[in-house]
Amino acid sequence: MTPGRFKTGTAQLWALAAMALPLVAQAQAADPHRWQLNMARGVTPTSHAAYDAHMITLWICVVIGVIVFGAMAIAMFKFRKSKGAVPDTEFTHSTKLEILWTALPILILVGLAFPATSGLMRMYDTRDAAMTVKVTGYQWMWKYDYLGEGVQFTSRLDRKSDEIRQSGVDARTADHPHYLLDVDNQLVLPVNTKIRFVLTADDVIHAWWVPALGWKQDAIPGIVNEAWAEIQEPGIYRGQCAELCGKDHGFMPIVVRAVSKDEYASWLAAEKAKRAPAEPAPAPAVEAAPAAVEPAATDAAPAAAPAAPQTEQPAATVAAAG
């Protein structure tokens, strides 16, 4: 390879890298995009930790790749037969090199294990959560229950997406920017609040996955799994069921709407008002019956009955008595 060709090839590589920069920048958004070149950073501490660990590992692999493939390229180019290179038949091994390429990977793996393990432990630490949301998977929808608040509802594929998929129309021509990724009822959550999720299922195994939150958790019948999230940026974050659960597995989208704490409090109050039992109508007032009029007491007691007249005894009777 001549120096001119080498410079031309290097310039082309830099040009390709420059063209890829907008795509890399776009990949830092919360939700994935078409032709995304890297994982998204997300909007939670968990997703940030996962992204940082990923980037550290990626650059370590890049450095190792450059060293290994660079050494191979130099050896192939500099010590080729056409240049008169003669193999060294006396060299058998190098103990120092063997120790080096054995110890170095061990140190790298141990160095990666500590932050990975601590991040995994934090991922499952649901203590000190300000609220709890129960997520239940069904074929083919999700049920959300705000524990302790008396608010629960189901969330399933939006009607427009369902109509398009059953009509036979090419979805690429349909006027729906979030085809198969929209729902009828969004999960509304407050930002900057530690939220505990408890996940289970009612029929088969599902998996609740929102990439921007930085984790995926299985929903298994008879088992309750836990996770947590603290969303740091308001917005709409979309996900899907990530476990094959039947014929409509691909039609179980998830939409999380993160709002400010004040807006969340207003939304929760409105939901409680909608679901509050209607107060019974007051019973009609019953008119009191008129009081019975007691007969007036007579001023004078009724006259006593006349005494029976005394009858005179016959004289003969009197004489006999005498």
Average pLDDT (317-321) is 39
Residues 265 and 136 in one domain: yes
In a domain, 140, yes or no: yes
How many domains does the structure of the chain reveal? 2
Residue 308, pLDDT score? 45
Residue 256 pLDDT > 80: yes
Q: Average model confidence (pLDDT) for the chain?
A: 82
Average pLDDT (74-101) is 87
- In the listed set 259, 275, 291, which residue is the last one of a domain according to the structure? 275
Alpha-carbon gap, residue 183 to 222, rounded angstroms:
26
Residue 28 pLDDT > 80: no
Residues 226 and 152 in one domain: yes
Alpha-carbon gap, residue 211 to 49, rounded angstroms:
13
In a domain, 265, yes or no: yes
pLDDT in tens, 258-274: 999 999 999 999 999 98
Confidence category of residue 290, pLDDT binned at 50, 70, 90: low
Alpha-carbon gap, residue 208 to 215, rounded angstroms:
9
In a domain, 301, yes or no: no
Question: What CATH number has the domain bearing residue 208?
Answer: 2.60.40.420
Closest by CA to 190, choosing from 266, 247, 121, 281, is 266
pLDDT in tens, 111-141: 889 888 888 899 889 999 999 999 999 999 9
Residue 299, pLDDT score? 47
Coil, helix or strand at residue 174:
coil
In a domain, 319, yes or no: no
- Listed ranges 20-34, 109-123, 207-221, 273-287; the one with the highest mean pLDDT: 207-221
Confidence category of residue 288, pLDDT binned at 50, 70, 90: low
Alpha-carbon gap, residue 171 to 174, rounded angstroms:
5
Residue 273, pLDDT score? 92
Residues 232 and 145 in one domain: yes
Coil, helix or strand at residue 50:
helix
In a domain, 164, yes or no: yes
Question: What CATH number has the domain bearing residue 34?
Answer: 1.10.287
